[in-house]
A and B are shown apart, each in its own frame.
Chain A
């Protein structure tokens, strides 16, 4: 192909966008709305996932040391804990710490510290936070196998609940995204089909004066991908912009409820490229392929 032909065909595609602006607006509108829905469903899913994660992370495993564990032995335990897979952080609570905590809680009723001054019944323990709540069971097993560990307390039932909750939400929201994506494909494909159908006569004439399929298809392809990309930019702007302000608002209006869920949303900086990337690919592929395929049957002249 000559370079001038290439320029001509690109120009022709852009010209057609303007010439058929009603159809262009219609298909871009449909595409943008679809993307907005998909983006919203995605952000909803991501955030709920994030909150569940946060709640899960609030759980920790408590490993109690045997009475009379020496300092050296404790150092060994601590070293093994530090190297253990799945362990995020450890906090040591000496018997004195525990006594202090409980006596603080009960200070209105009694003075525990003086009662147990020489005979502290509390066990030293390690609070072990996990990098991933899903590994709780495995970590508990490992902890139990360590020497000088008397007992391990873990909220395994709660953890199960969180895990299944997270699974439901993940499948639910990404399933919704998939369904919306599929619906969008059908709707957009139909819109393109109508656009192409309205121009089938024109396509037939071009074929009869000797145009190759590629020559006819190219401007349609340019038109399709350009509207796809424009819609992607538009939808990205709306979704990311809207989400940015939502994040701000959310952080500035804390309530008990929001505090319970960590007090913040997934920051835009962590998701924007996913949204923009998905939209661009979605718009480009859907419109490009959609036009190329719906034009095909009219090319059989």
Chain B
């Protein structure tokens, strides 16, 4: 990146006076986002995601640090120059923020009116945008008549009207149902590929990140605690919060419910071991399980298993109960670059009965 960074955030700091004292919303955040990238920011509510996003077009001016967009230091601009730069950064919102008294057409036209284009120029821009978001037939409707997904499509068309290089998305799918979310994310991906638009989106849902992001930053208490490709962060999270968020995508398996009294946090004599195996990397698609059984003469009972594709790469997670010697199995799996984790132990049913 370096030279070609579309967005460069340099040591941003921001504090707010909240009801219970000072709140640090941004704590020394530095970040570079490349042109054409779809970059996700994920974190819990209050982590500072919106503040970070709003710093990019200086809707929220940081107390410290500098913001570069397309090589221009926005933090150093006078307000009129800043307004011109903002036209090059589109933004969409969780609650759409459409003008209730303007038609769909006039909503999309607004940024162009503000920029002083003629009616004719505006029409030539708005029509194809409405086609792009498949709302040409709704041009004369008011937003109240539209569904949530349609409203967000209007929001997207409006954000694209001034032909920005960057699109900022603040929880744009959080008010939508899963199916509509997928179609909106599909549209964003499409726009990213067709127009080469750089997209920064913030969300609290890992599924959104998994769906379209190239890279992701995990935020906690105003800091970026993990940053990497979506595949790496999802399959090999290092920070506890990143791990918690990534695991949130897996089907929940309540081990203590499944095994009741027999479940144990510590090893038990003559019991079995519960393992979580993450399949990624070069051996993700190898027939690992049958190989294990043959090679180490162990018994494997599969408790749950999922196979997913993240950024078009296969990624599977399996939870198994293993009877037999554990150490060689774990060592072997690690040598295959698979993720292995001991989840707990189970006393043998026979012993408990005695």
Whether chains A and B associate is no
| Residues in A lying within 8 Å of B, measured CB to CB | none
